[in-house]
Structures are given as C-alpha cells and as structure tokens.
Structure 1
C-alpha cells in the first residue's frame, strides 16, 4: 500500500462515496467523511457500514455550498476526493438552479480551500459531459456537450477545477467515470430500477428509451480508479476517463438482468421516464487508454462477462429483503 494519507471524501454518504470511503479505511488511510447535514443526523449509506469502519471515520456534517464549512473540512487533509454533487438528470430539468449552486459553486469552494490549504484534489466528472458520442470510443478530447442542465453544471464544475490548476498550480485531476452501477445505487438509475421492479414481483417493467447504449462500470472498478489517480503524480493536471470499453444498450441490459434473475418480463415505455429528444444521450463508450497509461488501473469487470458478474453481485445485494425495503419501485424515482 502507498503511504498513509489524510483524505477528505465529499459525498461520502452517497452511492460511490460510501464504497470509496469504506475502501480507503480498509486500506489504512485516515478518512474524514463529508456528509450532507440533516436534522436526522443521518450519514446516508455510511449508517449501514461495518462498525469497525464507522468507528475509524471522522464524520464532518456540512453543505458543499458553504465555503466556510468546506474550508474547515479540508483543513489538515492531504487529498480531497470530491464526489459531492446533484446527479439526477430529470430533477435538473425543473430545479436547475440547485445544480449550479451545488455542482459549480460547491466545486469552487473545494478547489479554493485546497489552493489555500495545500491539498490535492481529485474532482469527479461524468461521461454525461460528452453528450451523445460524435466519435467512438470517446476520448478526453471529445467535445463537451451540455445536453441537460445536470451535464452543463458538471462541465462548469470541471472547468472551474481545471482553471485552478492552470491559474494557481493547484494539484487537480479530473476523474471522469462512465456509468457506475452496483449495490446502494439510487433507483433513479436504470439498473437499480429494473432490478427493484423485478425483485418486487413485477413482470411488466416500466422504463424510458431502450435503444441508447452505455459503458457500465461496476462500482469497485470506479473506486480503484480513484485510488490509482490519487496515488499518481503523473495524473495531476489531466482529465481521465474511467470506463470498461464495453458498450451495451438499455434493452440488452434488461435482458441480462432478467436472465440473471430468472424472470420472464416485458417492458413498457413510460412517457415520464423519457428524456426530451435533444437531451437524450444516445451513445457512450469510453476510451480509458490515458488512465491506463498513467496508472496501473484496468477494469476487473470489463466486457460482457464482467458485466454479467457485476450484475449478479448487484442483484444479490438488491434482493436481500433489508436492502430492497429501502426502494420504491411502484413510483418513478426522479
């Protein structure tokens, strides 16, 4: 293992953030977990992590939109892994202002604090910033296309982060994961939505468009990408795609999940789940060669075989009654 580090994880209470936080603790790092303040004193998914992991964490409850709180959270940390963001695309259609505040201003708060306090930043981007692929596979040089308020806010956040590296020498890396899936993912995402509907006994599954393709990545591959990037001096100043290089349509994803779960289903398109035509991202397929060249990262769940293995693990988690109870497949989760 690399030397022990003091790491701040923003968005530690979320899907990817909780997996990343657990992994870093298990690797022996000192981790401060930034979770969204709430009156329930909930730490999100970290409430359900193993006691030995939870007891090793320093929890910081705050709001990424508040510069003073962010500065206090960054104090004493060597590295900031910045995952806190609003990510639901449909919600960005009717509440775009919150995406600017959280994603752009929140990122500004992080890199400003890191600049002043001497921390290194790994900022989390998204493959959505590319929009519908103009060329495939998609390299980091692909044009950026804000096809939703969410993706536009992430483009802005990425550029703010990069500007601090170019303007002030702040050590920043942009990690751009393609579609991450796995245990704990929100039901607003397509894979949990399909699994949860089938697990609840439904055999007519309601979805949006089936023809778009995605490059899905099992969550542990994304977590390892964060680890390799934060340990690579060569990665500083770069934008790095993390993707499997395997492309599959939503329709074929449904078939893999149904086969894994032994379910005979049919799909109905629900109007509310369709993106506006020009906002839909039709195709995503990653070129992760730059990340591979600069680090020792490679996906363990690549290709169709890897996808099937990742889906099997995801299904196993979702079909445990205690986990499934937290999902509401009867309604559309925006």
Structure 2
C-alpha cells in the first residue's frame, strides 16, 4: 500500500461547533479535507463518531474526549458570548475554567496538538478611544463577558510554553444564522418583516463588523499558519454606527422603520467605538480577504 493511501486525514476538534461561528468553520474545514469532530453541550441529541457531548466545565469529560479524539488541531469556540447573559458566574465557569480544563486535558493525556486556536473577544479592550486598536493595547474590560475573556487570556498565556496556542480576538461580526438578540440580525429581521418600528439602544455606538464567513476563513488560515504563542485581532478596521446600518438597510429594502430609542437598552458600560487594526492578521494570513460590510448586510437581507 502506498504511503499516500495510508495517510490519515487531519483530525480537528471544534468545541462549540453548533454555534453561529462553528457551523461556518466546520463546513470550511470539512471542505479542506479535515476529519472534523464536533462537540456539543446539550443532552437532546445522541453522540456519533463525529459529534461528541462535551461539558467543558467538567475536567473528567474534557480528558475523556481528548483521549478519545487525540486531535491534530483544536479550535476552541465554546463560550457564553451574550453580554446580557443572566448569571455572571457562568461567564467565568465556562469561559475561564472551561478553557483551562481543555488545556489540562491535553497535558493529562500527554497529547500535544499541532495548534490550539482559542477564540477570545475584542471586548477585552473595553472603552478605548481609538479607531485602530492593535494587539498591544491594554486590556480594560467593562463587563463580565469581557472580564471573563481577559482572565481566560491571562490564564492561557501561562500555557504558551507548553502548547502551540494562538489566541484570536474577533471584533464584532455577523451573518446569516446569528441569533436575533444580536443587533444586526435584529435590524435585518425587522426590515425583512417590514415592521413599522424597532426599539434599539444607543444609535451612535460604532462597531467594526466583520462577516462570519471572513472570520471562519481567518480562523481556518490561522490554524494551519506558523503563528503560535501570540494573539491576533480578527477585524476589518472599518467601523459602522447603528444609524448608518439602519440607513443602508432602508436604502436596500426601500422600507422605512420608525426607530425608538429604549433607555433600557442603553447600557452604561457600552463601548462607544470599537474598531481594530487588522495589520497583524494580514501579515500572518495575507490570503484571507475581508468582505465589505455592506455586502454582508445585503447577503443577510436576501435570506
């Protein structure tokens, strides 16, 4: 038998694979020939050879999955990511301790993957007055979600000597399939249903919105790049306010929405402008091209 026939496919473990980003990334990786093993948290579906139940808050469960899979690559997306989540402690149980359990499972099973890509968040930068936040900016989180991600990053740094880890800090991103408690899908759904009005918070907060397809491509490229032991922003560098998004969606659909600012939706800890510098990302994976946000909005409205 020739060596090419005997060659095993690359095994890639993706936590949080059923989530918004995970679905796009899994499709990309499978298209590249990876044997993807997805993990899910719930109890309402049976396990299969390629879909395993994983409670990342359980060290035993993490060790069991790591021993069973022994993956070439790990992409860790599982997290509590909705800033308005009810129980603050959950952020730390899942986002910090869960990540630690996963890394300790590698050590406990004596397994060193080729790369571990860990998704953090640009929310760790907090309220920074800059239109191009790069990776050297200090971490000044202003809510529990961001604080949990900052704590997770600090913990992960202590593992840089032991495992080939890359931390990705995505800025805001959106696309088809994102839950409607996130801003852009909420706006898109109101236009799609031609609702008469919408309730929003501060219309002048500006965000560097990426397309989920771009984020998935960036993760895939970073996973197989030479980069390790560092942190990289995943962003486009171009911020848009909610006011601009509403105006663009109105132009694209020919529908006018009455906008009501609900004071209950205006969080005091809201970051005013969050836009990143994609310079490092472009230097590491120059082949990954950003998708213009207006194209993303058009794609979402067409669904």
CA distance in 2, matches of 1:287, 1:114: 32
CA shift in 2, pair 1:130/1:86, >3 Å = same
Q: Provide the residue aligned with 1:148 in structure 2.
A: 143
CA distance in 2, matches of 1:74, 1:293: 32
Gaps of 5+ in 2: 1-7
Contact 1:8 1:73 in 2 (8 A): no
Q: Provide the residue aligned with 1:135 in structure 2.
A: 130
Shift of 1:129: 0.7
Q: Provide the residue aligned with 2:5 in structure 1.
A: none
- The 5 A counterparts of 1:37-56 are 37-38=42-43, 40-41=44-45
Shift of 1:4: 4.5
- Which of the residues 102, 118, 121 maps onto 2:116? 121
CA shift in 2, pair 1:211/1:42, >3 Å = farther
Q: Provide the residue aligned with 1:68 in structure 2.
A: 60
Worse-superposed segment, 307-316 or 110-119: 110-119
1:308 equivalent in alignment to 2:294:
yes
1:246 equivalent in alignment to 2:238:
yes
Q: Provide the residue aligned with 1:284 in structure 2.
A: 274
1:109 equivalent in alignment to 2:78:
no
CA distance in 2, matches of 1:225, 1:297: 9
- What per-residue deviation string (whole Å, max 9, x for no partner) do you get for residues 174-217 of structure 1? 01111110011011210001111222331211111111110000
CA distance in 2, matches of 1:297, 1:142: 25
Contact 1:135 1:142 in 2 (8 A): no
- The 5 A counterparts of 1:215-226 are 215-226=208-219
Contact 2:37 2:51 in 1 (8 A): yes
CA distance in 1, matches of 2:272, 2:287: 27
**Structure 1 ranges of 4+ moved more than 4 A:** none
1:81 equivalent in alignment to 2:75:
yes
- Which of the residues 10, 31, 34 maps onto 2:15? 10
Pairs aligned (count): 291
| RMSD between superposed Cα atoms in Å | 1.8
Relative to the length of structure 1, the TM-score reads 0.83
Gaps of 5+ in 1: 44-54, 318-334
Contact 1:13 1:36 in 2 (8 A): no
CA distance in 2, matches of 1:204, 1:42: 42
CA distance in 2, matches of 1:31, 1:272: 42
DSSP-derived class of the 1:20 partner: helix
Q: Provide the residue aligned with 1:98 in structure 2.
A: 90
- The 5 A counterparts of 1:183-194 are 183-194=176-187
Contact 2:28 2:220 in 1 (8 A): no
CA shift in 2, pair 1:266/1:299, >3 Å = farther
